[in-house]
Amino acid sequence: MAKSSRKKRKPSKSQGFFSKKKIAIILLIFFTSFAVVYAVNYFQLFKTFKEKKQENNDKSTEILMDKMKKMLDDEKNRIDSYPYIKEAKKLPPVTKQQEVIKEKKPPKETHLSEIEDYKKSLQNVDKKIKKPSHVNKKKIIFKGKAKLAIIIDDVAFAHQTRLIKKIPFKVSPSFFPPTKLHPNTINLAKEFKFSMIHLPTEALHFGRPEPDTLMVRDSIETIRKRIRQIKNWFPFITYYNNHTGSKFTADYKSMDKLIKVMKEEKLHFVDSRTTAQTKGPVVAKKYNVHLYQRDIFLDNSIDKKLIKKQLKKAIAIAKRHGIAVAIGHPHENTLKVLINAKNILKDVDLVYLKDL
């Protein structure tokens, strides 16, 4: 039987439900849909993550702000706990000691009224001082140049210390304890190799006493507390001289309490002699402590010619006794005279009070 000439046809590749073409289309649609769904989900996830991150950042910022606020509150509470801040809060509040406070200069008549107190308490006192200004000290063998110590009382402000630093020889600035009016005296005192405390004590005639001025009525406990408070503020200072004090230093019981406390605290008292009736030498002898006393004030008048005249008197006292103590105040005229007094003082050695 003859073979059929028609060849058997092969089935078409496109035939059937699962043809390659259809499978390819299905796979393309599937992967495209998957990609779209994945992209949408990824975008949504990214958006959610971003929002979450922003929320966390906002929370972190809020937490950081809360922490900073707490730190500021803690710092404020710590500063408010400083003893001298509490003391000053009896008046308007005082900023912390470490900050530089913008100065408010005291009225010009402040120091002048103190000089008036001196004048009333010291009439002819300088003429009565015949003994050298060292008490309860071994006899000095006078060799070479005489020694002169110049104390600048009432130091309280940076504009004063700037001028004092221009003086071309050693002087001993005496600083007020800090108050609302002059809160920076602790830091200012640290700028000098040697400085003193100007201790406010009760006066007969001075009308504007410093806060916590020592009064004749004060008990020894009150005096001890005040001295320890000042010592805590100025642990680097051991020499104290009285500010005003024409009433306090003339009262034996008051001076007895003060010198006793100062001896206990290993501090040295320097008598400014704001009254001829001072009991400083008598009490110093009782407790067997060394006592320096002022010989002369430089600026009972703030006229430059009279200040120079007083300075020359101080030199004469130093030459006569070997040593002398002069006290001036941070008036502009006083400090300018001292800045230009090198030639006047060439015959004496200018020393810190502690080196007499």
pLDDT digits over 72-131, tens only? 666 666 555 544 444 444 444 443 443 444 555 555 545 555 566 666 665 545 454 445
Give the highest mean pLDDT range of 15-24, 101-110, 235-244.
235-244
Coil vs helix vs strand at 316: helix
Tokens standing for residue 134: 């060292």
pLDDT at 314 over 70: yes
Phi, psi values for residue 209, rounded to 5°: -70, 155
Whole-number Å distance between alpha carbons of 325 and 294: 5
What DSSP designation does 227 have?
H
Range name among 56-70, 144-158, 196-210, 212-226 with the lowest pLDDT average:
56-70
- Looking at per-residue confidence, does 75 or 340 come out higher? 340
Tokens standing for residue 25: 């289309």
pLDDT of residue 101: 46
If one counts every other C-beta atom within 10 angstroms of the C-beta of residue 177, the result is 23
pLDDT of residue 35: 73
pLDDT at 340 over 90: yes
Whole-number Å distance between alpha carbons of 225 and 219: 10
- Looking at per-residue confidence, does 321 or 40 come out higher? 321
pLDDT of residue 27: 76
pLDDT, tens digit (0-9, with 9 covering 90-100), for 132-186: 555 554 455 566 799 999 999 999 999 999 999 999 999 999 999 999 999 999 9
The residue among 331, 274, 339 whose CA lies nearest residue 303 is 331
The residue among 144, 145, 154, 147 whose CA lies nearest residue 174 is 154
Q: Which helix (H) or strand (E) holds 270?
A: strand 268-271
> Is residue 97 within 8 Å of 84, Cβ to Cβ?
yes
pLDDT of residue 259: 98
What DSSP designation does 191 have?
T
Phi, psi values for residue 326, rounded to 5°: -115, 145
> Is residue 349 within 8 Å of 150, Cβ to Cβ?
no
Tell me how far apart the terminal alpha carbons of the chain are, to the nearest angstrom: 154
